[in-house]
Amino acid sequence: MGNTAFLMPGQGSQYVGMLGKLDAYPKAQQIISKVNGVLGFDLVKLMKEGPIEELTQTENTQPALVACSAAWLEVAKEKGLSCQFALGHSLGEYSALYAAEAIDIETALRLVRRRGELMRDATSKIPGTMGAIIGLPAEKVKEICQEASKTGVCEMANFNSSGQIVVSGEVEAVKKAMELAKEAKARLARLLQVSAPFHSSMMDPVAEVFAKDLEAANINDAKFPVIANVNAKPVQKASEIRENLTKQINSPVLWEKSILQVVAMGVDNFVEVGAKNVLTGLNGQIVPNLTTSNTEAMF
């Protein structure tokens, strides 16, 4: 028997009713019951009832997904699941750090709410978005970004699998990239359900300010390795965690490399902990020979 890694989803996995199955688990409800008090508004109602437009605003999406993953983590533990590694996609890195006990739930929720507010404010004057391109090599996507950049900022932001790359930037430039990708015979090119251009240079001002929030936050050494998005390397020291979380804001997510890294470290079983099954689907492309399950389908 090899090792298990928990996967924590990021933005785009939110949906109205995302807490539905968790009603049956008292320990999950203990997590959910803390959310509104920590944040000072009724996020739980928004997660349960919507509207989706409000839930998809990044300052709401981020704490919603962390709360959902933290609650599902309680269910996973109750069912006897444990892991030797954790990794989270973008925002999901906070859920992974919570799983590794580097941050408590209150700290995680406050940090990601603040992160979301800063990201929202950074794009209030120049709106941004992201788009997924499936079925083109990285070199071609790079060319497309260079061409689309004549319209505005457009950069490669998520290296999800060899066949799926997400670009990020100004709305018109990303739309242009989607057109160019279709012309280049991409299998799919579509805008994502996100409200800001994450992991792009448009987030530079956010990284600068948020570094101070991370410095002041109560972050401990992780109990087991968490694979960092920015370099696909295992991290446990609090100082490195802070540094990586700052860089993560305006750097690409090296997701495929992160998955291959834990496989090289002996992982042969993955469990996606949280809303939907986006990362389960990506694993089907990256490591189709290994088992990946997700908590929503399992329990």
Which amino acids are annotated catalytic? Answer: 90, 199
CA atoms within 13 Å, Cβ hemisphere of 245: 32
Phi, psi of 141 (to 5 degrees): -65, -35
Q: How far apart are the first and last CA of the chain?
A: 22
Q: How far is residue 135 from each of residues 49, 257, 285, measured CA to CA in Å?
A: 36, 18, 12
Residues 259, 282: Cα–Cα separation, whole Å: 10
Contact at 8 Å (CB) between 36 and 44? yes
DSSP state of 253: B
Comparing C-alpha atoms, which of 281, 288, 273, 279 is closest to residue 81? Answer: 273
Torsion angle of C-alpha atoms 17, 22, 24, 26, degrees rounded to 10: -140
Comparing C-alpha atoms, which of 159, 244, 170, 157 is closest to residue 202? Answer: 170
Contact at 8 Å (CB) between 205 and 222? no
Strand-pair partners of 269: 4, 291
Contact at 8 Å (CB) between 228 and 93? yes
